Amino acid sequence: MAAITRFKLPVTNLETERERWHQLYNVLHEPKPEIKSSPRQSVWRKNKSVLWFYPAQEKKHDVPIFMVYSLLNKPYILDISEETSVIGNLNKQGYDVYMFDWGSPGLEDKGITLDNYVLDYLEMAVRVALRHAKAPEISLVGYCIGGTLSAMLASITDLPIKNLVLAAVPIDYSDFILPDKWVKAMHDGTLSLDRMIDAYEVIPSEFLYTTFLALQGFNIGPNVNLVTRAHDRKYVDKWRRMDKWTRDAVTFSGAAFKQMLNDLYKDNKLVKGEMTLAGKKVDLSKIKCSLLVITSTRDELVLESQSLPVMELVSSEDKTYQLVEAGHVSICLTGQFAFAVEPWLSTRSKF
Amino acid sequence: MSDENMNNPYESFRRLSEMWEKGLNDLLIQSIDNRELIRMTQLGVGVHSRYIERLKRNQELMANIMNIPTKNDVANVAKLTVQAEEKVDTLQQQIWSLQDSFALANQEQHKLLAEIMEFTKQLHTEWVHSAKDLAEAKKITTEMKKMRQELVEARDLKTNLLELKQELIHFSDLKNEVNVLRELLKKEKEDTALAVAGAKE
C-alpha cells in the first residue's frame, strides 16, 4: 500500500511545456545571439591580434589586470554577457582590465611560432598595456594555453609582473586527457601529426572544433540540459551564448601547433626546463612574483595533475593554490573566474 | 531528491542520460585505447596529409595555368603588411626608448636645476648672512675705533690723574709742611706766651 502511495505519475505543467518547446523552437530557428562586449577600446593592434582595454567603473585598485586567453578559442567567453562577464565583474570591482585577443591566423601566419606569440605579441602587448596604464606593475592572468604562455613570458621577461594568475593551465604534459596508450604513442612518436600540420600549414578551425568534440566523447549533456531547462529563459540565453562560442572556433598557426605538440605534448620540455623561446631558456624557477593557480573540479580538458607541478617549479614565496567548483569552460561562462581571482588580487594590487 | 524532481520526467531523463553518457564514454575510452587503432590513425593521418598536399599542388598548378592568384599569393602580399607592421612596432619601441631617454634626461635636468636652485638659495642665504656679518664687523670696527679713541682719551685722563695724584701728593706734602709749620708756629706762640708769663712773674 505504502509503495502505491509513493508512486506518482509524471505531471507536466502546460504553461511550462509551452514555454519549453517555444524556446527550443527558437534555439533551432533563430540566429545566434549577438554578444555585446563591456565598454572597451582597442589600445594596440598587431596582425590579427588586438589589445583591448576595459576601464574600471570606479577605479579602486592600482595594479591593472592583463588577461591572456587560450590560443585555441575566441576570448569573448570572458565577456559573454553583462551578468556573467568575467571582465565586466572585474571592472565593477574596480580593476582596469586589458585583454589580449590573439585573433585567428591566416595562411600568411603559418610560420608564427610560440616564440613569436610570447615575445613579439604577448610581451609587446604587456609593454603597451603598462605604458597605456602608466602603471609601474601589472597582474598577468592567463587561462588554459594562455596561462602556459603567460608562465613562459613571466619566466623570461624583465617586465614588472607583480602577480601571476594561472587558471586551468596545462604545464605538465606527462599526462593528459587522451587514453594512456595514445599519450604513450604521442610521447614516443608513434603518433605524429607533423606531416598533416605541414600539409595544412594553418590548422583549420573546423579541425580544432572537431578535435574538441572528439575529446569530449559522447557529449550529449549540454543538449539534454537544454531540453530539461528550456522553460528557463535565462538558462536558454546562457546556453545559446555558450553554443555560439563553442562553434566559433579559431584557426591555429601550423608552426605554433607543431611546436606545441612536439615541445609540450611530446617532449614535455616546459617541466623538464628544456624549453627555449628565441634562444632564451624558459626556466619556471625564475618566476618570483606572487602566484595564484586555479583548477576546476570538473575540468575534463586540463587535468589537475597538469597544473599542480607549477607550484613546485616556481621560486615565488607567495603562492596560493585554489580549487574551484566548476568546469573548464563554465568557470568563465558563469563569471566565477572573476570571483575566484578578485579576493586574492585585491590584497596584492597596491603599488 | 525532492518530490518535484522525482516527478519531473525531464529531470529523470537528464539523470538517465548522464549515466548513459558516462558509461558510454568509459566504454569508448576502453575501446579506443589500443595500439592497432593508433597505428590505423597514424596511417589515416599519412594518407590524409598526402591527399591535402596533392590537392594543394594541383591547386597551385591549375592557378598557374589559369594565371589567377592563389591563396599563397594573397598570403605573401598580406605578409608584407605584417612585416610593415612589425617595422612600425620596432619604430614605436625606438620612439618609446627615445621618449624614455628624454624623460630621464629631463628628469635629471630638473634634478640638476633643482640642485642649482637649492645651491643658489643657499648661496643667497650665505650672502645675506655674510652681508650681515660684514655690517656687524664694520660696526664692531667702528666701535673698536671709538673704544681706541676712548682708550687714548682714558690714557690722557690717566696721565692727568697721575699728574693730579702727583700734585695731590705734592699738595699733601705741602699740607704736612703747613701742618708742621702750624705746629711750630703754635709751639713758638706757646713759648712766647710762656716767656711773657715768666717775665711778668
List, for residues A283-322, the tens digit of each pLDDT value.
999 999 999 999 999 888 899 999 999 999 999 999 999 9
Of A11, A217, A228, the CB nearest to B13: A228
Whether A219 sits inside 8 A of B32 (CB atoms) is no
The C-alpha of B109 sits at a distance from chain A's nearest C-alpha, in angstroms, of 22
Domain hosting A54: range is 36-201+252-346
In this prediction, residue B105 carries a pLDDT of: 93
Q: Is residue A65 part of a domain?
A: yes
Residue A202's CB is within 10 A of a number of other CB atoms, namely: 25
Residue that wins the pLDDT comparison between B160 and A204: A204
Look up residue A108 and give its DSSP letter: G
A252-253/A276-277 β-pairing: unpaired
Q: Which residues of B touch A327 (CB under 8 A)?
A: none
Cell numbers that stand for B17 in this block: 542520460
Whether A181 sits inside 8 A of B34 (CB atoms) is yes
| Phi, psi values for residue B78, rounded to 5° | -60, -35
Of B14, B29, B39, the CB nearest to A225: B14
At A293, which CATH number? 3.40.50.1820
Q: Which residues of B touch A110 (CB under 8 A)?
A: 75
Q: Is residue A218 part of a domain?
A: no
> Closest-CA residue in chain A for B83?
A47
From the number of C-beta atoms within 10 Å of its C-beta (0-12, 13-18, 19+), residue A306 rates as buried
Q: Which residues of A touch B48 (CB under 8 A)?
A: 196, 199
Please state, in angstroms and rounded to a whole number, the distance separating the CA atoms of residues B137 and B139.
5
The alpha carbon of A183 is separated from its chain's Cα centroid by a whole number of angstroms, namely 22
Of A110, A199, A217, the CB nearest to B28: A217
Summarised one tens digit per residue, pLDDT across range B86-138 is 899 899 889 999 999 999 999 999 999 999 999 999 999 999 999 999 999 99
In this prediction, residue B3 carries a pLDDT of: 52
Q: Is residue A80 part of a domain?
A: yes
In this prediction, residue A1 carries a pLDDT of: 42
Q: Which residues of B touch A106 (CB under 8 A)?
A: 75, 78
Whether A11 sits inside 8 A of B7 (CB atoms) is yes
Whether A224 sits inside 8 A of B32 (CB atoms) is no
β-partners of residue A277 are A280
Domain count, chain A: 1
Q: Is residue A230 part of a domain?
A: no
Whether B45 sits inside 8 A of A107 (CB atoms) is no
Residue A53's CB is within 10 A of a number of other CB atoms, namely: 19
Whether A131 sits inside 8 A of B3 (CB atoms) is no
Residues of chain A with pLDDT below 50 are 1-3
CB-based contact A212:A206 (threshold 8 Å): no
For residue A301, give the 3-state DSSP assignment. Answer: coil
Q: Which residues of A touch B26 (CB under 8 A)?
A: none
From the number of C-beta atoms within 10 Å of its C-beta (0-12, 13-18, 19+), residue A31 rates as exposed
Residue A312's CB is within 10 A of a number of other CB atoms, namely: 10
In this prediction, residue A2 carries a pLDDT of: 45
* Half-sphere exposure at residue A133, Cβ-oriented, CA atoms within 13 angstroms: 29
Mean per-residue pLDDT of chain B = 89
Cell numbers that stand for A111 in this block: 610560420
The closest of A13, A85, A20, A83 to A52, measured between CA atoms, is A85
Q: Is residue A120 part of a domain?
A: yes
pLDDT grade for B7, boundaries at 50, 70 and 90: low
Res. B1: pLDDT tops 80: no
The C-alpha of B58 sits at a distance from chain A's nearest C-alpha, in angstroms, of 13
Q: Is residue A181 part of a domain?
A: yes
* Greatest extent of chain A over all pairs of C-alpha atoms, in Å: 79
Res. B180: pLDDT tops 50: yes
CA distances from B200 to A145, B186, B188, B189 (A): 165, 21, 18, 16
Whether B33 sits inside 8 A of A219 (CB atoms) is no
The closest of A139, A145, A44, A112 to A338, measured between CA atoms, is A139
Please state, in angstroms and rounded to a whole number, the distance separating the CA atoms of residues B186 and B183.
5
A97-101/A276-277 β-pairing: unpaired
| Phi, psi values for residue B178, rounded to 5° | -65, -45
In this prediction, residue B158 carries a pLDDT of: 85
Please state, in angstroms and rounded to a whole number, the distance separating the CA atoms of residues B82 and A26.
42
Residue that wins the pLDDT comparison between A56 and B191: A56
Residue B183's CB is within 10 A of a number of other CB atoms, namely: 10
Q: Which residues of B touch A190 (CB under 8 A)?
A: 35, 38-39, 42
- CB-based contact (8 Å) between A199 and chain B? yes
**Cell 566548476 belongs to residue:** A326
Q: Is residue A259 part of a domain?
A: yes
- CB-based contact (8 Å) between A298 and chain B? no
β-partners of residue A290 are A163
Which distant-in-sequence residues (6+ apart) come within 8 Å of B48 by Cβ?
A196, A199
The three-point CA angle B43-B45-B46 to 5° equals: 65
Q: Is residue A246 part of a domain?
A: no
